[in-house]
Amino acid sequence: MAGLSLRCGDCGALLKSVEEAQEHAELTKHSNFSESTEAVLNLVCTTCGKPCRSKTETDLHTKRTGHADFEDKTMEMAKPIDLEAAPKAPAESGERAGDESGQPEEMVVPEVDSSLLEQLESMGFPTARATRALHYSGNSSIEAAINWVAEHEDDPDIDEMPLVPNEKKTEADKPALTPEEVKMKAQELRERARKKKEEEERRMEREREKERIRIGKELLEAKRIEEENERKRIMALRKAEKEEENRAREKIRQKLEEDKAERRRKLGLPPEEPGTAKPSAAPVEEKKSFVPVKPATKTERMRDCLRSLKQHHKDEDAKVKRAFQTLLTYIGNVAKNPNEEKFRKIRITNPTFQDRVGSLNGGIEFLELCGFEKLEDGEFLLLPRDKVDMAILNSAGSELNSAISNPFFGVL
């Protein structure tokens, strides 16, 4: 079956002739066309005779004019596409050239909606004025035509019949292209489309490169900010460590001063005046003195034990924190259930205990400060019921809570 239309492979539009395909290609830059046995739809309005090529056009026409009846003349108007049509005779071409060069373009009265024209004439408008109003208002409605007349009633040509070029003759006068010209035109359109596609790809590549550069800069800036924040955090940590060390030294100094004052009071010596200058050799003399120093309490020994554990494993924060939490669980279970022997007895060889507490320097020592004792076989730690001291257990719990919650605990 012969082809009745040309289909655009890019957008799917159906075109009636090679000339329409060329115009479509120039407007849309599409270049992929093929013959189709499907005819271009031709729906003619039974009221005003306007042809429509698609359902969309009929809907728009109905919306503008109110005309809803259309006659399908698709097959009546369909003509086979002739891609190999021979060029017209030179004489005919000469006549056309003479017409284009010597004769003026044929002008005709535009087609308007006859029913709207009759209504305007019945209202008293002259035929020329009504025709002009309907043509320039788009043949849409009586209201639009009357509004146009009201806006242009002072025009000098308001009562002249409007004339428009004869589009049918213009279309008929268009020269047909030879098959060679059609092929050359198609090749030109394809080449233009290829160049446009390459240009678009280069533009997209430039955009992608700009995006990669932007993302790289953002990553570098984010890394710089992260390193700066880490540096500030380390500086703050060191500052806090120094402050904690200074507080500890000040506390020890005050404790020594209090002990010294207490010893002077017991010996019946007067209090030392604050402004009295101390000799340079005083620290040496104090070291050589045989005055006994008050021994550290069990709570302080527990704190020192936890600090020692953290310092011996300073690069294993997660392991140290898990050990503190495990010790807190042991102490809490005994404090809540002092009569339950299962909470007061720990198997030292248990793999879990060894991994969490036993293998860490100071873990078992802390439990022994809390009252646990090794049995003779060395396999168990046992806290006898009569040696459960709730005050010591509470102190141990407080020290463990402090070690877990204080990020600077034990960092000297």
Tell me the whole-structure pTM to 2 decimals: 0.32
| Residue 309 included in any domain | yes
Structure tokens at 48: 């005003």
Asked whether residue 249 is domain-assigned, the answer is: no
Give 175-190 pLDDT, tens digit per residue: 666 778 777 877 888 8
Is residue 102 one of the residues assigned to a domain?
no
Residue 134 token pair: 């309907």
Q: Is residue 342 part of a domain?
A: yes
* Residue 288 in this model has a pLDDT that exceeds 50: no
Residue 337 belongs to what domain range? 296-405
> Using an 8 Å Cβ cutoff, are 320 and 310 in contact?
yes
Has residue 354 got a pLDDT over 50? Answer: yes
Residue 5: pLDDT band by 50, 70, 90 thresholds?
confident
Last residue of a domain, one of 61, 83, 105: 83
Q: Which residues contact 30 (CB under 8 A, 6 or more apart)?
A: 8, 9, 10, 11, 24, 189, 193
Structure tokens at 67: 């005309």
> Is the model more confident about 189 or about 77?
189
- Residue 112 CA to residue 403 CA, distance in Å, equals 95
DSSP 37-56: SSPPP-EEETTT--EESSHH
Q: How far apart are the first and last CA of the chain?
A: 96
Residues 6+ apart with CB under 8 A from 45: 51, 52, 58, 61, 65, 67, 69, 70
Residue (of 252, 357, 365, 383) closest to 301 by Cα position:
365
Interatomic CA distance for residues 352 and 271, integer angstroms:
56
Per-residue pLDDT tens for 27-46?
777 777 787 777 788 888 88
The enclosing domain of 361 has a CATH number of 1.20.58.2190
Q: Quick one: pLDDT at residue 286? A: 47
Dump pLDDT digits (tens) for 295-304: 668 888 888 8
d(CA 221, CA 228): 10
Distance of alpha carbon 261 from alpha carbon 33, whole angstroms: 109
How confident is the model at residue 98, as a pLDDT? Answer: 43
Does residue 339 sit within a domain?
A: yes
315 within a domain of the structure (yes/no):
yes
Judge contact between 160 and 128, C-beta under 8 A. yes
Report yes or no on 61 lying in a domain. Answer: yes
Check whether 250 has a pLDDT greater than 90: yes
Q: What is the mean pLDDT of residues 219-232?
A: 92
- CB neighbours of residue 94 within 10 Å: 10
Q: Which of 57, 83, 109 is the last residue of a domain?
A: 83
Domain count of the fold of the chain: 2
Q: Is 258 exposed, middle or buried (0-12, 13-18, 19+ CB in 10 A)?
A: exposed
The predicted pLDDT at position 228 comes to 92
b/e sequence 316-337, b meaning 16+ C-beta within 10 Å: eeeebeebbebbbebbeebbee
Q: Which residue from 261, 286, 282, 281 is spatially nearest to 272, judged by alpha carbons?
A: 261
**pLDDT, tens digit, 9 for 90 and up, residues 201-219:** 999 999 999 999 999 999 9
With H, G, I as helix, E, B as strand and everything else as coil, classify residue 381. Answer: strand
Ranked by mean pLDDT, the top range of 4-18, 64-78, 154-168, 381-395 is 381-395
Residue ending a domain, among 25, 49, 83, is: 83
> Residue 247 — very low, low, confident or very high, per pLDDT cuts 50/70/90?
very high
* Residue 110 and residue 135 in contact, taking contact as beta carbons nearer than 8 Å: yes
Asked if residue 20 has pLDDT above 50, the reply is: yes
With beta carbons less than 8 A apart as the criterion, state whether 325 and 291 touch.
no
Written in H, E and C, the secondary structure of 170-230 is HHHHCCCCCHHHHHHHHHHHHHHHHHHHHHHHHHHHHHHHHHHHHHHHHHHHHHHHHHHHH
Which tokens is 47 given?
């009221």
Identify the bridge partners of residue 8 per DSSP, sorted by sequence position: 33
Residue 381 counted as domain residue: yes
How far apart (Å, rounded) are the C-alpha atoms in residues 411 and 324?
A: 15
* Residue 125 neighbours by CB distance under 10 Å: 20
Rank 49-53, 323-327, 403-407 by mean pLDDT and report only the highest. Answer: 323-327
Span 121-145, average pLDDT: 86
